[in-house]
Structure 1
Amino acid sequence: MAHVHANTPFAPLGIAVLTVSDTRGFDEDGSGDLLSERVTEAGHALVERRIVPDDIYRIRAVVSKWVVRDDIQVVLVTGGTGFTPRDRTPEALSPLFDKAIDGYGELFRQLSLASIGTSTIQSRAVGGLIDRTLVFAMPGSPKACATAWDGILVEQLDARTRPCNFVAMVLPQAERCASRQAPRPAAEGEAPRQAVES
């Protein structure tokens, strides 16, 4: 059963890209370049792009400023998701999540298994919802960013993706997935309706 109608229009989102790195500037930021290009190619707006060091509080400060802005619905974070002592992106973001998107990290590692084998278990890609802003963190290589965007995010950030996608959760005017709609009150003489479980 499709929860998104076949005639649902594309809804452009405002997306910010944050690169976490102690060593890169914009001239060396291939991952930020790739994500920025993918965002605009898909029809979304690249609202802002920044680079911060691998520091929990600097990462958290930038993301916290972005998630309260009305023009940003999605934050993409690249870098800092490994196991070295300086990889602290999940620790920076996870306490901010109202809801973790566990399936994002699970699916990312499943997709990357084909290209990097069991080394995928060393990826700590995480995603979550902060109020009405989606945040997705991925490893710092362009290849990993392509895996995350092409294999997961391009569809889940497209209002036309069926049966469901994340757009209605961040754009109030977007049509909500039927499985997440509250049941309407029953008319007089009508049996109460039940919400559809996802």
Structure 2
Amino acid sequence: MAIDDTKPFIPVRIAVLTVSDTRTLGDDRSGDTLVQRIADAGHVLAARDILPDERDTIAAKLRDWIADDGIDAILSTGGTGLTGRDVTVEAHRDVYEKEIEAFATVFTIVSMNKIGTSAVQSRATGGVAGGTYLFALPGSPGACRDAWDEILAAQFDYRHRPCNFVEIMPRLDEHLRRK
């Protein structure tokens, strides 16, 4: 696992969605954490929004952003827990064409190293739809840092070897182009 400096850096256009019944842009620390890391890595913040914990509303926003050619990836934060209002995972799965099962596994491993067995309470997930990557992250700034720093930063860097998400982006929607 290393960066191949002979390859160019390719910025990814990433949207950030915070799912919360109470947060605003003024106090959205998790969203701010992701926005800062996206900028620090040289990527582009393509869109940002905050929505309440409503499955249909979240899924509709994800579909709108998937249809936007200016968005390559969507990171949501919040609503991945076990309580009754936590419906972000279900909304993501409503729109996935393919789930990236290993993302949840790797996120759990990262979390176990930070918070021990409390990691079992997270339902972080990832998937692909319409040529767009989607990741549902927990609502804490620490979990957003962990997901970005330990997984997504490398996978969204075209120079990362042995492989990364960026190099296969042009082929994510090839099934839609087949006749």
Q: TM-score, normalised by structure 1?
A: 0.83
Please give the residue correspondences for 1:140-179 in structure 2 after superposition, counting only pairs within 5 Å: 140-171=139-170
Partner of residue 76, structure 2:
77
Q: 1:49 is paired with a residue of what secondary structure?
A: strand
d(CA) in 2 for partners of 1:158, 1:12? 8
Does the CA-based 8 Å contact 2:18-2:49 persist in structure 1?
A: yes
Show the counterpart of 2:103: 104
Aligned pairs for 1:51-130 (under 5 A) are 51-130=50-129
1:42 — aligned with what? 41
Counterparts of 1:105 and 1:7 in 2: how far apart (Å)?
31
Equivalent position SS for 2:161: coil
Are the counterparts in 1 of residues 4 and 160 from structure 2 also a CA contact under 8 Å? no
How many matched pairs? Answer: 170
State the 1:143 CA deviation: 0.2
Query: Which structure has the highest helix share of the two?
Result: 2
Percent of pairs with identical residues: 48
Give the CA deviation at 1:7.
1.9
SS in 1 for 2:76: strand
Give 1:159 shift: 0.3
Cα distance in 1 for partners of 2:153, 2:15 equals 15
Q: Distance in 2 between matches of 1:169 and 1:91?
A: 26
Does 6-15 or 41-50 show the bigger shift? Answer: 6-15
Cα distance in 1 between the residues matched to 2:83 and 2:138: 12
Task: Summarize the Cα distance change of 1:159–1:20 in structure 2 as closer, same or farther, 3 Å threshold.
Answer: same
Distance in 2 (CA, whole Å) between partners of 1:149 and 1:54 is 23
**Residue 87 and residue 158 in structure 1: after superposition, are their counterparts in 2 closer, same or farther (change >3 A)?**
same
Runs of 5+ in structure 2 lacking a partner? 172-179
TM-score w.r.t. the length of structure 2 is 0.91
In structure 2, distance between residues paired with 1:119 and 1:5: 36
**Structure with larger Rg:** 1
CA contact (8 A) 2:79 2:87 kept: yes
CA distance in 1, matches of 2:48, 2:40: 16
Larger strand fraction of residues: 2
Query: Which ranges in structure 1 are unaligned for 5 or more consecutive residues?
Result: 173-198
Match of 1:16 in 2: 15
The structure-2 alpha-carbon separation of the partners of 1:114 and 1:57, relative to structure 1 and needing over 3 Å to count, comes to same
Distance 2:5 2:161 in 1: 8
**Deviation of the 1:151 alpha carbon:** 0.4
